[in-house]
Amino acid sequence: MLQSGTNTVNAAEIAKFEAMAAEWWDLNGKFKPLHMLNPCRLDYITSQIAAEFARDLDDPQPFKGLRILDIGCGGGLLCEPMARLGADVLGVDAAPRNIPVAKLHAEQSGLKIDYRVGTAEALAAAGEQFDIVLNMEVVEHVDDPLGYLTACRQLLVCGGLHICSTLNRNSKSYVFAIIGAEHVMRWLPKGTHDWAKFITPEELFALLQKAGLDPVDRKGMVFNPLTWSWSLSERDLSVNYVTASIKP
């Protein structure tokens, strides 16, 4: 199972990547907010994939035979669970420094995952195809959302599933995501998000349709300060939300 020979970098570089991998996967470190949100995102992703592709999550490798692309993979927080469930996973990130870090952690976890520097547009141009495209917390950072979502659609096989999460744009999301998360709680570095680029669910649905995708589901991701954890909500899409759409 172990990946070998994938790193051709020198010892000092490896030490640096080890430190970065440790940072990415430290539950109480810099990426704590992502780790807190992750179970909620995974619950949504796994249940949507299981429903769309008729898989039983109680099977040992329920996603065997499915090819999944994770755009903006970072340290591999979504890629590793998908690989553990049996999927054939490609993680891409536009930031080159994330790739060796993610590779190293997958190797430490005994998982085989393909990580590359890249973008959705470049993969689409190369003609790559996937059963599932994970597009989590990326669309609010791109300059041309429609062009980007069109590339995502091109990457899917017919009947393929596109899961996209982002942040709503309203006064509540400004208070919670910008003032709360970046300034008060210091969960995220200041300037992580540009509120003006946030997208309302209606705008996202319109964009998805324009890109040639059929939106089929949407849910809110809500933080409960009492249990200090995130959960999915049918109604509350006021800050974080996630959608599923199908390529017809």
Residues that bind another protein (CB under 8 A): 27, 35, 39, 42-43, 46, 57-60, 80-85, 108-110
Task: List Cα–Cα distances, 16 to 22, 73, 113, 117, 232, in angstroms.
Answer: 10, 19, 21, 18, 36
Cβ 7 vs Cβ 106: under 8 Å: no
Q: 115 vs 148, which CB is nearer to another protein?
A: 115
Q: 122 vs 232, which CB is nearer to another protein?
A: 232
Closest distance to another protein from the beta carbon of 26 (Å) = 10
Closest distance to another protein from the beta carbon of 102 (Å) = 15
Closest distance to another protein from the beta carbon of 204 (Å) = 24
Q: 78 vs 207, which CB is nearer to another protein?
A: 78
Q: Tell me if residue 219 falls in helix, strand or coil.
A: strand
Closest distance to another protein from the beta carbon of 195 (Å) = 30
Alpha helices per DSSP H over 96-141 = 98-108, 120-125
The CA-based diameter of the chain, rounded to the nearest angstrom, is: 51
Phi-psi region of 243 (alpha: psi -120 to 50; beta: other; left: phi over 0): beta
Q: Can you tell me the distance from the alpha carbon of 239 to that of 227, in angstroms, rounded to the nearest whole number? A: 18
Q: 42 vs 142, which CB is nearer to another protein?
A: 42
Closest distance to another protein from the beta carbon of 110 (Å) = 5
Q: 105 vs 169, which CB is nearer to another protein?
A: 105
